[in-house]
Amino acid sequence: MRKGVTIWEPSNVYDSAILGEGVSVGAFAEIGPNVKIGDRTRVGKGCFIPEGVTVQEDCFIAPHVCFTNDLYPPSGKENWKPTLVKKGASIGANATIICGVTIGEHAFVAAGAVVTKDVPDGEMCMGVPALVKGERKHA
Amino acid sequence: MRKGVTIWEPSNVYDSAILGEGVSVGAFAEIGPNVKIGDRTRVGKGCFIPEGVTVQEDCFIAPHVCFTNDLYPPSGKENWKPTLVKKGASIGANATIICGVTIGEHAFVAAGAVVTKDVPDGEMCMGVPALVKGERKHA
Amino acid sequence: MRKGVTIWEPSNVYDSAILGEGVSVGAFAEIGPNVKIGDRTRVGKGCFIPEGVTVQEDCFIAPHVCFTNDLYPPSGKENWKPTLVKKGASIGANATIICGVTIGEHAFVAAGAVVTKDVPDGEMCMGVPALVKGERKHA
């Protein structure tokens, strides 16, 4: 059962994905098997969130954000790494998240960034590869 | 009424979006509320053009181009900035456009660029963040 | 006839595209006219592979990968360049491939890269623009 979840069609949300209360998912998005999305998190148009990714509550995942789960694809799970996005984090449009990282609480990833390392709580990062640039200044 | 507009399905074009004569929109694209697209502009497969963006006539928006409308998402419109793409501009595949910029007449944005500043008329830019590299040489 | 091909819906695969045995194509992908995809190659969710691109057998094209076919769009084919991905190559998520390049056998393109030059056989590249960083170490 998914309580108060809004999914725009067409999108592909696997049955085993667990979506919290008040989650929204944009059109053309795919959320893979066993993914967990916390309460009130919003997933934008066209995002890709594969198995191995966990997004906590109150996050904002902008359109076209692309997560991964395999460091050296295709490895048949040998090199799969889990990815965690902690509560209140915001990930900008078209960012790419290399698997195995943790994006901290209320951290901010700028649009178009390629995240290859952990982002500390409350910090913001940008660029390719993404570099931490200091405190997140907004909300 | 939309005269001579071609929209490939599936795509999400909001009813309040104004599409000029001869506009085409690729599949898996989303064009948000109140967006204006000028005559003969072509929008590629999978593009995202949200509320707050205006694209003038005779532009080429390549596949996967991702516009934004919020500088510090999610801000609930507090930090929304309008974006303008002037006539004849060409934006390359998978480019990301940070809101608040103007892309000049016949300007060119290279594929994969992340545009964070205005691009002058007739100039071309590339990279992350996108840097202006001189005159657009073609078309 | 396409033997043992799996296409997730919705996706747009042109009738004239030639897909080898055991090819899979993710949802929200577009494969254009006359594209050739070799046996067992996997094309991820949301990829864009337009006319002019050839992908050989046993390749892995991760989600959101965006190929191009026009160096100076829109040129009406005047500046179209063919792109070749050789057997066993792996292209990471959300990479952008500028047309005219050859990605060598078993080469590896990191996620988020923008490829502007050839990638030699067995090498890996990353970044914007993508730089070759040495031998591919996995698979």
Q: Give the pTM.
A: 0.98
| Helix, strand, or coil (residue B31) | strand
A134 and chain C: CB distance < 8 Å anywhere?
Answer: no
C-alpha pair distances (Å), B76 with each of A111, B72, B118, C103: 17, 10, 24, 43
Q: Which of B9, B4, B10, B70 is nearest to B37 (CA)?
A: B4
Whether chain C has a CB inside 8 Å of the CB on A24: the answer is no
State the distance between the two ends of chain C, measured CA to CA, in whole angstroms.
31
* Sign of the CA dihedral running B111, C14, B26, B9: negative
Residue C66 has pLDDT above 80, yes or no: yes
CA A20 to chain centre: 14
> B113 or B77, which is more confident?
B113
Considering the domain delimited by C1-139, tell me its CATH architecture.
3 Solenoid (2.160)
pLDDT at A2: 84
Q: What is the mean pLDDT of chain B?
A: 96
Segment holding A104, helix H or strand E: none
Q: Does B134 touch chain C (CB under 8 A)?
A: no
Mean pLDDT computed over every residue of chain A: 96
Is residue B96 predicted with pLDDT exceeding 70?
yes
Per residue in C17-54, pLDDT (tens digit) is 999 999 999 999 999 999 999 999 999 999 999 999 99
| pLDDT value, residue B137 | 86
Average pLDDT over residues B79-85: 97
**Whether residue C72 has pLDDT greater than 70:** yes
Q: Which of residues 71-90 of A touch B (CB under 8 A)?
A: 90
Record: contact B138-C72, CB cut-off 8 A: yes
Which range, of A101-105, A134-138, B20-24, averages the lowest pLDDT?
A: A134-138
Residue C73 and residue B94: Cβ atoms within 8 Å? Answer: no
Helix residue spans in C6-94 (DSSP H): none
B75 neighbors B61 (Cβ within 8 angstroms): no
Structure confidence at residue B139 as a pLDDT band (50, 70, 90): low
3-state secondary structure of C6: strand
What is the token pair recorded at C9? Answer: 């819906």
- The pLDDT of residue A139: 65
Q: How far apart are CA A127 and CA A67, in angstroms?
A: 16
Q: Do residues C63 and C44 make contact, with C-beta atoms less than 8 angstroms apart?
A: yes
Q: How many angstroms separate the Cα of B83 from the Cα of each of A123, B69, C60?
A: 27, 8, 36
> How far does A25 lie from chain B, in Å, by closest CA?
14
**Is C127 touching B (CB cutoff 8 A)?**
no
Q: Which of C9, C114, C116 to mutate to test the interface with B (most CBs of B within 10 A)?
A: C114
Q: Which residue has the tokens 């090498």?
A: C123
pLDDT recorded at residue A1: 59
CB contact under 8 A, B30 and A46: yes
Neighbouring chains of C at 3+ CB pairs within 8 Å?
A: A, B
pLDDT surpassing 80 at residue C1: no
How far, in Å, CA of B61 to CA of B54, rounded? 12
The b-or-e profile of B119-136 (16+ CB within 10 A means b, else e) is: bebebbbbbbbbebeeeb
Residue C65: pLDDT band with limits 50, 70, 90: very high
Model pLDDT, residue B138: 79
How far apart CA A61 and CA C37 sit, in angstroms, is 32
Q: What is the pLDDT of residues A73-120, one digit of tens each?
A: 999 889 999 999 999 999 999 999 999 999 999 999 999 999 999 999
Task: Report ipTM for this prediction.
Answer: 0.97
User: Which string of DSSP letters, residue by residue, matches A35-66?
Assistant: -EE-TT-EE-TT-EE-TTEEE-TT-EE-TT-E
Exposed / middle / buried, residue A28 (Cβ in 10 Å: 0-12, 13-18, 19+): buried
